[in-house]
Amino acid sequence: MSRVLKRPMFSLGGSTSAGITSGLSRRGYHAGGTDRPRTTPQEILQGYGQAPRGYNVYDFLTEWGLNMASSPPMGNVIQTAAGTAKEPYSKMVEGKGRAGQLEYAMRAQASDAARAHNLALKKMDLQEYLGELAADKKGGGYSLMKPRPIYELEVAEIIKNNKNEMDQLYTDGQSKWRASVYFDKASHDKGNVFSAADTGLLVKNPDEDTKNTTPYVVDLTKFKEGDQYNVYWDSIDKEWFTVNLNEQTQKWEIDKTKSMSIGSETEDFKDSSLIEMQNFIENKKEVDENERLLDLKEKTNLPEVKITEEIKLKDIIHPTSDGTATGEISDEYIVQYANDNKIVFTSEEFKEKGGAGSGYKIMNKLFLKNKLKQANQKETRKIKAEEKKLKREEEQAWFWYDRWWDRYEAGTITVPERFKKHLDSYQIYKAEKIEKQLKAAKKN
C-alpha cells in the first residue's frame, strides 16, 4: 500500500487542470461563481452579534460572597460556605444549561439558513446550466431528456392527488399520455393523436356495480366521420387504438390496438408503436381515397388510373439494393454517409475526433440505417402524394370538361386556371372514347 501511494498520480501539489477534464469549457457549479457567493453558518451568526450572557461563574462567586457576609454562621466554616453556595450554584448550573441550549438553537437555525441560501443558489446555477445545454442542443449538442420511465414516475407522483377522477383512478395511464405529448412531439404535431379521456370518449360504465368491470369505458357512439383517421390513447388499458365504421351494422368498432413501445436514449425515447399506428391510418386513408376515386371513375366513365406499387431509384434519396424505398442500404454507403456528415459509431472515435465541439455526433449504425430508410420512405410518400394530387386534379378537370364541353366550345364559360393544363390529355381521352364508340356502332 505504501508503494501505491508514492506513485506520481497521488503526489500532492501542482495543478489538476491537465486531467480528464482538460480542454472542456464547461464551468463548475459547485461554488456558484463570484456573483453568487455561498455562505456559512458562522457568517450568519456574526450577523446576529453576541448572544446575551447567561448566569456564569462570576455571578456565582459574587452572590456566594454576599451570602457568606450576610448569613449567620451555620456550624463551622465549611458548613457555612456550603450552605451559602447552594442556591448560587443551582442558578449557575441552570444558567449554563440554558446558555448551551440557546447556543445549539442558534447554530441549528444558522445552519438551516445557510443550507437554504446555498440550495437556492444551486437551483439558480442549475437553471442557468440547463439553459446553456438547451442552447447547445439546438446546435446538435447534448440531450436534455431524462429517461422516459423516470419522467412518467415523476408525472404520476404529481397527478395522483389531482381532483380529476381519471388522474386518480388511472394515474399510470394518464402519466404515460403526458409523457407521449412531451417525447413524441413530432407525432402529436400531425394533429391526429388524441387522449380518449381528454376528448370525453371515456364515460361512466353502465355496469359499474358489476364485478370485474372498470368504472369507465370507451363510448363508441360518440365517434363520427373522419375519426377513423385518428389515433386515440386509452388510459384504462394503457394502449393506442383506432376505430372503424362497420358498413353492415353502421356502428363504430375498435379497429386496431397497440401498447407503447419505447425506444432507447439514442432514439430520444420515441414510441415506435405510435408511429406504426399513424402509418396504419395513413395507409387506410390512402386505400379509402383510391376507392373513392374508383367510384368516381365508374360514375363518369373515365379511364382507369394505374397505381404504382413501388417507387424506383429516381424517387429515393439514398441508394438501396433493389432501387425501392423499402430496400436495404449497404454498409459501405452507411460508412461513407457517416464520414461525409461527421458521424461516428463509438465513444472512442467520438473523443478522438473532438466530440460535439468539433461538430461530430455519435450514433448507433443500425439507428443511422433506419433513419436513412425513413428518409427514403418519406421522399417516396411525398412524390406519391404529389402524383396523386396531380392525377386527382386531372380527373377533376376531365369531369369538368365532360360536363361543360359544349359551353366551353361556345366560349360562354371560363375554364378554371388549374384545369387548363389538362386540356390536351382530355382531348386525347375524348378522341379515344369517340373512336371506341364508332367501332362499337360499326359492329352493331
Question: Which DSSP category does 28 fall into?
Answer: P
Phi, psi angle pair for 329, to nearest 5°: -100, 130
Q: Is the pLDDT of residue 30 over 80?
A: no
- H or E element, residue 275: helix 272-300
What digits encode the pLDDT tens for the residues 299-355? 555 454 444 444 344 467 888 887 777 788 888 888 898 889 999 888 788 888 888
Task: Indicate the range of 2-6, 250-254, 413-417 predicted with least confidence.
Answer: 2-6
Lowest mean pLDDT among 163-177, 219-233, 303-317, 393-407: 303-317
What is the rounded CA–CA span in Å between residue 48 and residue 146?
Answer: 43
Q: Are 193 and 242 in contact (CB under 8 A)?
A: no
Helix (H, G, I), strand (E, B) or coil at 271: strand
The total of other beta-carbon atoms located within 10 Å of residue 192's CB is: 19
Alpha helix ranges (H) inside 16-76: 41-48, 57-70
Domain locations along the chain: 30-138, 148-288, 301-443
- pLDDT at position 130 is 53
Backbone angles phi, psi at 204, to 5 degrees: -60, 135
- At 95, the pLDDT band (50, 70, 90 cuts) reads confident
190 or 326, greater pLDDT: 190
Residue pLDDT, tens place only, 32-77: 444 567 778 777 667 666 666 666 667 767 776 777 667 777 777 6
According to the model, what pLDDT value does residue 125 have?
66
Taking the C-alpha atoms of residue 356 and residue 138, their distance in angstroms, rounded to an integer, is 12
Q: Quick one: which of 133, 195, 136 has its CA closest to 166? A: 195
